[in-house]
Structure 1
């Protein structure tokens, strides 16, 4: 009798364990983020994939389309994720997707298509920054970026970096979304001579506002950027030149209509080599 009771108790315990297992199903597998913010010594926070492989911007892509095709893609493979899972500190609205001319899809960040660099053998490698002065490590906190495109004015004429008609791409400074910034040639060092106190003309040439310069592409020097007060608003400057958008560009990335208004040279784009603004 004692033996039967023992067997009964064992069976009862097994039954309870089985029921308990059914009521507590295993936890679902942890889904890893496929876009990370990785901290580096030289570059601060950079965008990487889930394995820590570094991502890059291409300055030729200022209009939001990929200018890297053919053999370029061999050296700079495209980055694409159908469903993004972002690490803390990243914002979903900053990401998008484009369809390339070759039919492939590519993930973008702040409108910049994202790439790997074939020369990065290991996670954490950043060997592609500043290659050809057109490739830059993808960072979430650029205040400024560099574009390299053909300047085309509102008059439909193509211009070179000297505001002279000509067909040659120019490397110029944009905001972090690739929107063109301009200088006003009558301005002087840290003095905005265009904007009216009531900002009634600000829609024509809006000032580029911000609080502080965070990061700039490695081809530029952060020390060349600063801010000034303009009737209670804060405007960014480069080498003392106040920085503006052109209203007719409609904040569309890659547009450079202002280079011909009202005449070429009055509102030039910012070059790395732009001279310091004259002292008042």
Structure 2
């Protein structure tokens, strides 16, 4: 309603100004919001379950069950990117793609010679992991990686000859719903074999973490991201394997941007997405994923991209601290520990 003078009432104008200011504040502080579905550069964030797709009937030999199949990130045929190793308490060491999704192998395939026997119908539920840009996980022999042409013409990633797949029902990093499906699908180990936990009676020295590492560096049931107290740096973030997590001061948080690509990304692998529920002691402010320039996805805290360091060989190492005056361990709030102000 307008004032008889032709001007809007003062109360209405004040409310309008407040609303406008609030909108601008929300835009400029988006990275500080725990809620919200997009990062500052307009990308989807969080770990939302994708829309469902039609299932592929039971009895097909591919391990599909009846009902609708969730179309996870694996169904989008994105390149595998920088591979990583997930140390699962139940499955042992499992290889994942750059987005943290489990990679699988199919018993009906062959490794010598490499051949995929997953046909077009099978691929709807078990999308092939494209080989383009794939890089071995830190500490894994890169010569094990190869490729094979799938039935749909995709150049599919192989590990020690075994074709690699994602599972459409895995909807978030850390899922392994395809394990044992149909008695023919299994999560893959970093060497291409079937992932399996250490056998009973195994020599503990073969699987236990280095005894010189701080006890909290390798908890019995570690979260995807957690913290440990370093004697020199204080409380810092570590990944599931107890490896120190770093920040690069040449990156930016607004908009989110990683300036570590190419050779840099080989030395400083991006931390794959970790579900909020799979963290312990980590601030949720600005906790979101970022679509990297190389096609992978990267976890952030307070909107800052996170990395590990290839020069760290065991849990508790902080060899990346202060490297080049640009790399620093990360605090639970996303701060660069020890960086000059």
TM-score normalised according to structure 1 size? 0.40
In our comparison, the structure showing a higher alpha carbon Rg is 1
TM-score, length-normalised on structure 2?
0.33
